[in-house]
Amino acid sequence: MSRRQPRRSIWPPFLYALQGIRTSVREEAHMRFHLFAAALVIVMALLLDIDKNGWLWLIASIVGVLTSEMFNSAIERAVDLATAERHPVAKAAKDIAAGAVLVASLGAAAIGLIVLGPPLWHWLAQR
């Protein structure tokens, strides 16, 4: 006969994830910058009455930037924990993670220009 495994709550992993988000916002200046930029984009999209398709692109790009920033922070901390000395592999890991954030940010900026640019231009032309 098989013994029943004790039922595990789904809440602890969820709470750990929320703690990770909280730590990222509290301790990472770049995360706060990205959240501020995201808030500006959201306000602008609301004011310009962006359609659902535009919102989909904006939300996906915001999530991509925030996620890449959190991975970057996690990689930097793990590398710092693994070695206190300068090492070319540690530097490469940190540089690659930072590069991922740059790629996501540039992509998000392009999406923002494509989605928000025309309605913003139209709004400005009416003034």
Given 27, 28, 69, 85, the catalytic residue: 69
Contacts of 32 (CB under 8 A, 6+ apart): 25
Q: For residues 103, 105, 107 and 113, what is the CA-based torsion angle, rounded to 10 degrees?
A: -150
Do the Cβ atoms of 68 and 100 come closer than 8 Å? yes
Q: Based on DSSP, count helices (H) and strands (E) in the chain, helices before strands.
A: 4, 0
Placement of tokens 């494509």 in the chain: 114
Active site residue 69: yes
Q: Which residues are catalytic?
A: 69
